[in-house]
Amino acid sequence: MLTAEGCPKTMLSIRDALEAVEGRWKLLILFALAQSPKRFKQLAKEVPGITDKTLSKELKSLESNKLVQRNVYDTFPPTVQYSITAHGKSLEKVIEELHYWGLAHRREIMGK
């Protein structure tokens, strides 16, 4: 990748991937949903510090990226639950690589 032929052709896909995980909240929401599907209020509790407005916006963005699914159940009143999709779970490997590199990066920067 980081070689003579790696250049801008590959940038679009990399940008797509970065966009899907960027920002303060997306990964935290995915972490919370990876444990189990959740209702909006549960989710708001498990992602510390997030406002309802932001959570709603982020869920819509995750939904449009097919990382999260919004399920409406036919109860009275209707129940809405959010769950992580198979595509959302496929982020696993990316997140793992980011995690390991991030650890190595800390060691490098802090000179340990």
Binding site for a second copy (CB under 8 A): 1-4, 6-8, 10-18, 20-22, 27-28, 30-32, 34-35, 65-66, 84, 87-106, 108-109
Q: Which of 69, 31, 67 is nearest to 48 (CA)?
A: 31
Find the shortest distance in angstroms from Cβ 6 to a second copy: 6
CB-nearer residue toward a second copy: 9 or 75: 9
CB-nearer residue toward a second copy: 74 or 86: 86
CB-nearer residue toward a second copy: 6 or 71: 6
Angle between the 52-64 and 26-35 helix axes, to the nearest 10 degrees?
80
Find the shortest distance in angstroms from Cβ 111 to a second copy: 10
**Per-residue CA distances from 82 to 49, 58, 64, 85 (Å):** 19, 12, 13, 10
Find the shortest distance in angstroms from Cβ 95 to a second copy: 5
CB-nearer residue toward a second copy: 15 or 39: 15
Gap between the Cα atoms of 61 and 56, Å rounded: 9
- Which of helix, strand or coil describes residue 22? coil
